Amino acid sequence: MKHVLLATTALAMSASVAAADMALKMSGTAGAGVITAKTAPSDSAKYQNTNGNYVAYSGVDINLSASVDLDDGTVITFSDDIGGGGLLDTGDDEIDDQGMDIGHPAVTVATSAGLTVVLDGNGIDDVFDDSKTGDLSLAMSLGGLTATTVMDLDKNGSSSYSLSYGMGDLSVGYKGTDSNDANVAANIITASYSTGPFAMSVGMDSTDGTAGSDKGFASLTYAADSMSITYKAQEDDATGKDIGKDYTISGSFSAMGMKISGESNEAENWEVDVTYDLGGATVQVGVNDAETTYAGVSFTF
């Protein structure tokens, strides 16, 4: 009887494994080029230079994942990345160092009910400030409502949270943290509406216990065909008044495989980035007011 029970259990386990869909995936990015800056444009000392000379960079980032689909619709995924050298970050005009080996993989559990749980030690972007990271993320989607929280599980760690709801062309959002860069609570409330090629947004940015910290802002975007332009105005950082004194204007234009994008603000900070699709690889060229310039090529696989 004991042998019959063992055989039955083994058969049931084998059937469960056979019924589950398993997958191994690999993707990545490779790139190379040159960069120069008067300020250190990198998270690696190898690429930092303040004398205006060009520095060559090259790197590869390989993303690996293993996942299994359970019978109830839940998907469990382990993921990590390996790589070497450095890759261009056009968002921050700098070179990002690439890790050499597999560390602690991120674990994602996505249920059919709309709940997603992610566990990744110091590897999850804070939803309020992406310069901070957390260890555990919980996200829930139900209809047009989405709620997310990211927690740093350290003893003195912070938590951030966001809530958004979309209904047709109208959406509202709220995100906050119990500890921002100044170690105080802060939050942002927004409302957005789009019609045709226009999108409009208004909101309020608040920091607890800080005089003049409640700053309103508004933005207007026009996007049609291959062109888009956005103007965002906000109240002055120092006084919390005079909306429009602080502003950002950005835009982009695409044609024949080339995309030109730029951004400027009231402090005369600006940047211009150009990409050109080679049909399998992309050329990237850029310059900003801090005298950072770069030129490179990259492709994804």
What pLDDT is stored for residue 294 in this prediction? 93
Contact 45, 9 (CB under 8 A): no
Amino acid (one-letter) located at 30: A
301 residues of the chain, pLDDT tens digit each: 333 333 333 323 333 444 468 999 999 999 999 988 665 555 556 666 556 678 889 999 999 999 999 999 999 999 998 999 989 998 888 888 887 777 789 999 999 999 999 999 999 999 998 778 999 999 999 989 999 999 999 888 899 999 999 999 999 999 999 988 778 899 999 999 999 999 999 999 888 766 556 788 999 999 988 899 999 998 765 555 565 567 899 999 999 999 999 999 988 899 999 999 999 999 999 999 988 899 999 999 9
What is the domain partition of the chain in residue ranges?
21-68+81-103+273-301
Contact 160, 127 (CB under 8 A): yes
Which residue's entry shows tokens 């990015």?
A: 29
Torsion (CA) 76, 80, 140, 192 in degrees, nearest 10: -150
d(CA 112, CA 108): 13
What pLDDT is stored for residue 34 in this prediction? 92
